[in-house]
């Protein structure tokens, strides 16, 4: 599986294009905006978009999802159903932050803990990781040892929990009970900033390193 990360929107959110090398089928994780950049990457790689995957309902992660899915006639999968709280507010979010208009939508498939998603010959496991938002999910390829964690975890930091329905204790629990057991060698693509590994964050992250109290 090849992965291409495209920072989009003024918030430089990491939209990931995942490509099944056997079939040249692709999935887009968190297409938050700047749809022309995403389309250009798909064309450049000569791949066919098959799915759109969403980690959560904040505007910079899903603002262009419906347009991209409609353009290609593909389904949107994720996040977890509690994220309807944020998806219903997309129009208000776009107005508040000066983004292009984004209308509320419902994904074709809500996801929850233990589900899987697929495109081409690739399969990703789904983990419900609330805290940053109530319905936040994480996508993990155990085969390729890579995770797409949205705004749950960052290199050297963790997601904010001061938004409505955020919960700091839930976020810490999600990271420590859902992500760490997957293995220190997992590389993760966060919603913003550089990649890291779970092992590095367990060693050095000031919020969730081993030995740091919650």
pLDDT tens, residue order, the chain (214 aa) = 999 999 999 999 999 999 999 999 999 999 999 999 999 999 999 999 999 999 999 999 999 999 999 999 999 999 999 999 999 999 999 999 999 899 999 999 999 999 999 999 999 999 999 999 999 999 999 999 999 999 999 999 999 999 999 999 999 999 999 999 999 999 999 999 999 999 999 999 999 999 888 6
For residue 210, being part of any structural domain is answered with: no
Which tokens is 9 given? 């929107």
Q: Give the closest residue to 33 by CA, choosing from 123, 101, 81, 113.
A: 101
Given phi > 0 = left and psi -120 to 50 = alpha, else beta, which region is 24?
left
Place of tokens 């994780």: 29
Backbone CA torsion sign across 161, 63, 82, 125: negative
For residue 213, being part of any structural domain is answered with: no
In the chain, how many domains are there?
1
For residue 214, being part of any structural domain is answered with: no
Place of tokens 């859902």: 178
Beta carbons within 8 Å of 109's beta carbon, 6+ residues apart: 75, 76, 77, 78
For residue 30, being part of any structural domain is answered with: yes
Give me the domain span that covers residue 65. Answer: 2-204
CB 171 within 8 Å of CB 134? no
User: How far from chain centre, in Å, is Cα 198?
Assistant: 16
Rounded to a whole number, what is the distance in angstroms from the first to the last CA of the chain?
35
Task: Enter the pTM of the model.
Answer: 0.98
What is the rounded distance in angstroms from the CA atom of residue 37 to the CA atom of residue 58? 19
For residue 154, being part of any structural domain is answered with: yes
Strand partners, 140: 125, 147
The CATH code of the domain that includes 44 is 3.60.15.10
For residue 19, being part of any structural domain is answered with: yes
For residue 209, being part of any structural domain is answered with: no
Beta carbons within 8 Å of 43's beta carbon, 6+ residues apart: none
For residue 212, being part of any structural domain is answered with: no
Strand partners, 116: 125
């Amino acid at each position: 599986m090849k992965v291409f990360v495209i920072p989009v929107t003024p918030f430089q959110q990491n939209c990931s294009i995942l490509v099944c090398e056997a079939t040249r089928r692709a999935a887009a994780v968190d297409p938050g905006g700047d749809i022309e950049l995403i389309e250009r990457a798909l064309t450049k790689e000569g791949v066919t978009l098959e799915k759109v995957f969403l980690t959560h309902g904040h505007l910079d992660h899903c603002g262009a999802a419906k347009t991209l899915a409609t353009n290609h006639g593909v389904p949107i999968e994720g996040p977890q159903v509690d994220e309807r709280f944020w998806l219903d507010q997309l129009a208000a979010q776009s107005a508040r932050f000066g983004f292009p208009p984004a209308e509320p939508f419902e994904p074709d498939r809500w996801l929850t803990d233990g589900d899987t998603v697929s495109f081409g010959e690739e399969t990703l496991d789904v983990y419900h990781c609330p805290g940053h938002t109530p319905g936040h999910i994480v996508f993990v390829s155990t085969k390729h040892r890579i995770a797409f964690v949205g705004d749950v975890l960052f290199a050297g930091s963790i997601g904010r929990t001061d938004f409505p329905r955020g919960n700091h204790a839930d976020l810490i629990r999600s990271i420590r009970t859902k992500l760490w057991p997957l293995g220190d060698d997992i590389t993760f693509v966060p919603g913003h900033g550089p990649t890291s590994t779970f092992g590095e964050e367990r060693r050095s992250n000031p919020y969730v390193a081993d030995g740091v109290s919650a």
